[in-house]
Structure 1
């Protein structure tokens, strides 16, 4: 697939590296063209996939199958408005956590989430919440505590979620069906807890959430009639 990544920070770098190893065509753009080119120079030639720098966010968004907003929440909401028409009908992956300045709370109201707010700003796109509980150092490794890294996916579009899951799985990670987009609220609260634990235990962000089932997990999940 052709995957566009908006952002050039640690998460953009880690996700790009994963997708390149998964054999995908990755296009990146940052706040400046220099940042995009620097990421290409760093990651180019590292896998069966490829990476190129896109001249503008519009060009990246219009030419890619899936677009990842690998930016801070405030930037992601602005970009969602700017690219609302360009991204109409496309799958948009939101990784943002709406942390406050001290990283001990969320700036979103209790009855919404970053994922839902981004979807509200681009009603024609299909937003999938993903990667927000998976820190960059964890993504950089092939395994997490001896097992494959889990990536939780939440979306109101089952098709978009399935496409994002295929992308995750092809990159050597395990997709976990986290249900509807409103469950981004829980995922973002979970990320807040993980940040708390990093400081308390000195984990250096080399830890993450992991489901330990007693049987293989299907994707999508088999939802009970009583759920």
Structure 2
């Protein structure tokens, strides 16, 4: 599978590395071509998948099966409009949280979410909310406190969600089915609390949310059998 990632920050690079380790070729792009190239070089030792730097439009169009928008919410909404035609029929992973400038609230109204806003702009694509509750340091290590890192997935497109779950599972993380895309509103508010806790306890983003059910957990049968 080929995967496009728009965003060369800590999260974009962490996700690119995970998918390259899973054997997938990754095209990474950003607003600054030099930063894109630097990110690709930084990840050159990862693999067996290859990470290449390309322009943003090319990351979306070069035969990619999945595009990850690893960008701030305002940037993601603009990209969703600009790339809506080329992304038609593809899966788009949204990792954004619609934080206020001071990170003390969300700019979306209660019940709305960044994930829902992107799906409205990408009506021909399958938007999957993922990675928004994760921090880059724990994605790089893949485990925390002796346990695999959980990635919560929300989408109205079950097949796309199952495909993303397989990508995540192959990268050494545990996918958790968080239901329909409307639940992305809850996931985004959860992350708002997590960010507050980082400062309150001086955690430096060395923390993770873990779902601890009273029985063994597996993703829906579509993942296990496909």
TM-score category (smaller protein):
over 0.9
Matched, 1:61 2:60: yes
Cα distance in 1 for partners of 2:59, 2:197 equals: 36
Instruction: Report deviation, 1:46.
Output: 2.0
Cα distance in 1 for partners of 2:81, 2:30 equals: 17
Match of 1:186 in 2: 186
Instruction: Report deviation, 1:150.
Output: 0.1
Mapped contact 2:31–2:56 kept (Cα < 8 A):
no
Match of 1:205 in 2: 205
Runs of 4+ residues over 6 Å off in structure 1: none
Match of 1:225 in 2: none
Cα distance in 2 for partners of 1:186, 1:76 equals: 19
Cα distance in 2 for partners of 1:134, 1:37 equals: 25
Give a deviation string over 1:138-162, Cα, whole Å, max 9, x none: 1111311100000000000000100
Cα distance in 1 for partners of 2:58, 2:31 equals: 14
SS, match of residue 175 in structure 1:
strand
Mapped contact 2:84–2:122 kept (Cα < 8 A):
yes
Query: Which deviates further from its counterpart, 162-171 or 15-24?
Result: 15-24
Cα distance in 1 for partners of 2:115, 2:9 equals: 19
Give a deviation string over 1:86-110, Cα, whole Å, max 9, x none: 0001000000000001101000011
Instruction: Report deviation, 1:111.
Output: 2.5
CA RMSD of aligned residues (A): 1.2
Match of 1:45 in 2: 45
1:72-83 aligned at under 5 Å gives the runs 72-83=72-83
Match of 1:164 in 2: 164
SS, match of residue 216 in structure 1:
coil
SS, match of residue 214 in structure 2:
coil
Cα distance in 1 for partners of 2:16, 2:5 equals: 8
Match of 2:70 in 1: 70
Task: For structure 2, list consecutive stretches of 5 or more residues without a partner in the other structure.
Answer: 222-226
Matched, 1:115 2:124: no
TM-score of the superposition, structure 2-length normalised?
A: 0.95
Instruction: Report deviation, 1:58.
Output: 2.0
Cα distance in 1 for partners of 2:17, 2:104 equals: 29
Cα distance in 1 for partners of 2:156, 2:145 equals: 31
SS, match of residue 148 in structure 2:
coil
